[in-house]
Chain A
Amino acid sequence: MRAFEYANPATKEQAVGLLSNSWGETEVLAGGTDLISLMKDEVIAPKRLVNIKGITELHGIATNIKTGLRIGATATIQDLLDNAIVHRTFPALWDAAEGITSPQIRNMGTVGGDLCQRPRCWYYRGGYGLFAKTEKGDPLVPGGDNRYHAILGNSGPAYFVNPSSLAPALIAYGATFRVFGSSGKRDIPAEKFFLTPKSEGEREYDLKSNEILTEIIVPMAAGARGVTYEVRQKEALDWPLAAASVVVNLAAGKVRSARIVLGHVAPVPWRSQDAEAALVGHAIDEKTAQAAAEAAVKDASPLSRNGYKVQLARVAVKRAILAAAKGGVR
């Protein structure tokens, strides 16, 4: 790790004031579970870290019947799991948090950090840049070992998958991300927050280098049934190979509205409106769930070694839908 300065501001205004207006100079430190590793691997080498955990207004989870759930950016993954409202009313979010199985990561990792964590692509982490290119500029992923890479939205130059497990659930619940910067706050629909970068200087999300994510607002989801289903090989200290967060509203046994968002399959959390359309107006059963699952992956274009992920994504969507129909409420 390279040397850096450290600051521990007390307010978001101070934090923003301490951040540089260009990427690479400074970084926001939340739980550090991703950032510190990135720095040890010298994938990034900021000259200053701005710890945001001391900013009280970024803490905690609160509910308000009208405005919904407010999750402070530095609320931890464990805070989500310990929250009765999240458990009862936002089960797809709770499931996603539950999937992050290391208690230590849950205790340290923050919601904001989970959403802003960087891709786990092994070429990126190995120093080949976000787009994983050789010195000559040849992409390494398409002809390399892409077993964990994207199957959707992967026409390049980005081939990595968005690593956040919480993001698909938050998008499925129609959350809004509140961002604070030198010119005040901005509200961004969760879905719009995540971007597929086109050049090395860009990030995978809509933040400027001197902006911070301050809170996440999730509208109340009365009556909605939500489930996140993850396909994981190991129980712990592992990443899902594919995941789907599904939130449906049923009326008279039929799907009135649905949000289906896939995780770990594309450079961004992947909302599938095709899958949603396949479901709306139908009762959920094996057949309709299957149809929605097929719709979700119909545009998939696997790379040389990750064709199996298409199947896993299909299964995740189908199982999440079926589980939502059966339960998805607590």
Chain B
Amino acid sequence: MRDDEEDVEGSGLSRRDFLKVGGISLTVPLVIGHRVVKAAGADVKVFGPNKVPIELTINGKKMSASVEPRVTLLEAMRHELDLTGAKRVCDRATCGACTVIVDGKAVYSCTVLAIEAQGRAITTVEGLMTGDKLHPVQQAFVDNDAQQCGFCTPGFVVASKAFLDKNPHPTPEEVKRGLGGNLCRCGTYMGVRAAVQQAAGAQKGGRRNG
């Protein structure tokens, strides 16, 4: 926020109002939308701090919600879109339970803002099934009992899928490194290792470790 900044259009929230919003005395009515400020001679949109409409593309479907910029992708999915497959566990990019795939890459959705995930292709654990049929990775998790309480499982499944997409024929060593971004408290790692190997086999045309 700069003192010399011009408020071109939009809510007309002044700097002073915003400071209030940022603080605890939320007295200004919630305003939906953005405003435009001049930066380096160009008009730049500034969103929030109140709720703004966002549109996310999740599992091929466009979904909209209205959230403050401080809402993470994970929270938007879980609280606004009832997509609860991704879990909130550490909420600090240190456990992997919230893993989703964004533009082909596994990321921690607890640490991505919903507003910045717009326009990206987001795949969640809910998007991996084809109709009633489990994805080979999911099936492999079931077959190899790569789950106990199952709370880490969606994150592991998604991380495994992203890993195999990039590395379809992994060695056991590569599996250990490639899934290092996920933690399980019940201790299902042996099952996960076997599941990833089985899924890799399945992707090679159904042969196990072929």
A residues at B contact (CB < 8 Å)? 1-11, 13-21, 25-26, 29, 32-33, 36-37, 39-41, 45, 47-49, 51, 53, 78, 101-105, 107-108, 235-237
Contacts and interface: CB of A to CB of B under 8 A. Distances in A.
Contact of B178 (A4, A19, A103): A103
Given A9-B39, A20-B1, A235-B180, A36 B116 contact: no
Contact of A4 (B69, B94, B105): B69
Contacts of B154: none
Interface of B: 1-2, 18-19, 21-22, 37-42, 44-50, 68-70, 72, 91-96, 99, 105-108, 110-113, 115-116, 159, 162-163, 176-181, 183
A192 B136 CA distance: 51
Contacts of B40: 11, 13-14, 16-17
Contact of A237 (B1, B39, B49, B94): B94
Given A14-B42, A104-B93, A236 B111 contact: no
Given A18-B39, A37-B111, A237 B22 contact: no
Contact of B44 (A7, A45, A108, A236): A7
B90 to A, nearest CB: 9
Contacts of B112: 32, 36, 108
B69 A49 contact: yes
B208 to A, nearest CB: 24
A47 B47 CA distance: 12
A237 B113 contact: no
B70 A53 contact: no
Given A5-B47, A14-B42, A236 B181 contact: yes
B116 A8 contact: yes
Given A1-B70, A9-B44, 6 more contacts: A17-B44, A18-B46, A32-B112, A48-B1, A51-B116, A105-B181
A48 B42 contact: no
Given A18-B37, A104-B107, A4 B49 contact: yes
Contacts of B41: 13
| Residue from B91, B111, B179 whose CB has the most chain A CB atoms within 10 Å | B111
Contacts of B37: 7, 18
A266 to B, nearest CB: 24
Contacts of A105: 93, 108, 181
B115 A6 contact: yes
B181 A8 contact: no
A21 B47 contact: no
A107 B91 contact: no
Contacts of A1: 70
A45 B22 contact: yes
5 contacts: A3-B48, A3-B68, A5-B49, A7-B45, A36-B113
A14 B44 contact: yes
A251 B113 CA distance: 51
Contacts of B95: 237
